[in-house]
A = this chain, B = another copy of it.
Amino acid sequence: MQLKAKYIDMETAEYTCVLHVDDAREMGVREQDRVRIKHDRSSVVALVHTTDTIVQQGEVGILGRAYARLGPDKDEVIDVVATTRPAAVEFIKKKMAGKELSTAEIRTIVSDIADHTLSNIELTAYVTSLEINGMNIRETADLTMAMVETGEVIEFDRSPVFDFHSIGGCPGNKITLIVVPIVAAAGLLIPKTSSRAISSACGTADIVEVFADVDFDSNKLRSISESTGGALAWGGSMNLAPADDVIIRVEYPLGIDPHAQLLASVMSKKKAVGADFLAIDIPVGEGTKVKTMEKAQAFAKDFVELGELLNIHVEVAITYGDQPVGRAIGPALESREAIRILEGVPHPSSVIEKAAGMAGMVLEMGGIPNGEARARELLASGKALDKFREIVGAQGGNPDITSEDIKVGEFTYDVLSKTCGYVNGIRNRDLVRLARTAGSPKDKGAGVLLHKKKGNRVNTGEPLFTIYADNKAKLDRAINLSRSLSPIAVEGMILAKLPYVSKSTVIERTFCPVPSTHQEE
Of chain B, the residue at the smallest CB distance from A18 is: B10
Interface residues of A in 99-139 (CB under 8 A from B): 119-122, 124-125, 128-129, 131-133
Is the beta-carbon distance between B11 and A10 smaller than 8 angstroms?
no
- The answer, yes or no, to whether A436 is at the interface (CB within 8 Å) is yes
Q: From A10, A25, A129, name the one whose CB has the most chain B CB atoms within 10 angstroms.
A: A10
Q: How far is the CA of A51 from the CA of B12 in the complex (A)?
A: 9
Known A-B contacts A9-B54, A121-B124; the reply to A254 vs B436 at CB < 8 A is no
| Chain B residues within an 8 Å CB radius of A12 | 49
Among residues of B, the one whose C-beta sits closest to the C-beta of A47 is B253
Q: Decide yes or no whether A165 CB sits under 8 A from chain B.
A: no
Residues 1-38 of chain A: 1 if any B CB is under 8 Å from the residue's CB, otherwise 0? 00000001111110000100000011010111100000
Docked Cα-Cα span, A125 to B129, in Å, equals 9
Nearest-neighbor residue (CB-CB) of A439 within chain B: B26
Asked whether, in the complex, the Cβ of B25 is within 8 Å of the Cβ of A442, the reply is yes
Q: Is the CB of B54 within 8 A of A132?
A: no
Contact A250 to B121, CB < 8 A, known contacts A28-B436, A132-B129, A132-B132: yes
Given B10, B26, B98, which contacts A10 in the complex, CB threshold below 8 Å? B10
In the complex, are the beta carbons of A120 and B120 less than 8 A apart?
yes
- Which residue on B lies nearest to A131, using beta carbons? B96
Shortest beta-carbon distance from A159 to chain B in Å = 38
Nearest chain B CB to A7 CB, angstrom units? 11
A424 and B125 CA atoms in complex are apart in Å by 38
Of listed A9, A12, A30, A121, residue having the most chain B CB within 10 A: A121
Chain B residues whose C-beta falls within 8 Å of the C-beta of A437 in the assembled complex = 28
A16 → chain B closest CB, angstroms: 9
What is the CB-to-nearest-CB distance from A121 to chain B, in angstroms, rounded to a whole number? 5
CA distance A128 to B122 in the complex (A): 10
Give CA–CA (A43, B85) in the complex, Å.
Answer: 38
A179 to chain B, nearest CB (A): 28
Q: Kindly state the separation between the CA atoms of A442 and B30 in the bound complex, as whole angstroms.
A: 14
Q: A254: which B residues are within 8 A, CB to CB?
A: 89, 93, 121-122, 125
> Do B26 and A442 have beta carbons less than 8 Å apart?
yes
B252–A11 touching, CB < 8 Å: no
Please indicate the chain B residues that have their CB under 8 angstroms from the CB of A121 in the complex.
120-121, 124, 250, 253-254
A252 to B129, CA, bound (A): 17
Check A256 for interface membership: any CB of B closer than 8 A.
yes
Q: Which residues of chain B are near A93, meaning CB under 8 Å?
A: 254-256
Residues of B within 8 A of A120 (CB): 120-121, 124
Residues of A444-494 whose CB lies within 8 A of B: none
Interface presence of A516 (CB below 8 A): no
**A263 and B198 alpha carbons, distance in the complex (Å):** 40
Nearest-neighbour CB distance to chain B for A497, whole angstroms, equals 27
B32–A249 contact, CB under 8 A?
yes
Beta-carbon nearest neighbor of A199 in chain B: B30
Cβ–Cβ contact A253 & B11, under 8 A: no
User: Is there an interface contact between A32 and B252, defined as CB atoms closer than 8 Å?
Assistant: yes
A96 to B437, CA, bound (A): 31
Tell me, yes or no, whether A42 is within 8 Å of chain B by CB.
no
Q: Which residues of B contact A32 (CB under 8 A)?
A: 249-250, 252-253
A248-288 Cβ-contact flags toward B at 8 Å (1 or 0):
01101111100000000000000000000000000000000
Task: Give the 7 A-B residue pairs with the shortest CB-CB distance, closest first.
Answer: A124-B124, A32-B253, A128-B128, A121-B124, A132-B132, A10-B10, A125-B128
- Beyond the given A85-B253, A120-B120, A125-B128, please list 6 additional residue pairs across the A-B interface where CB-CB is below 8 A: A13-B31, A93-B254, A93-B256, A121-B124, A122-B254, A125-B254
Q: Can you list 9 contacts pairing A with B, beta carbon distance less than 8 Å?
A: A8-B9, A10-B61, A30-B252, A119-B253, A120-B120, A121-B254, A122-B253, A128-B132, A132-B132
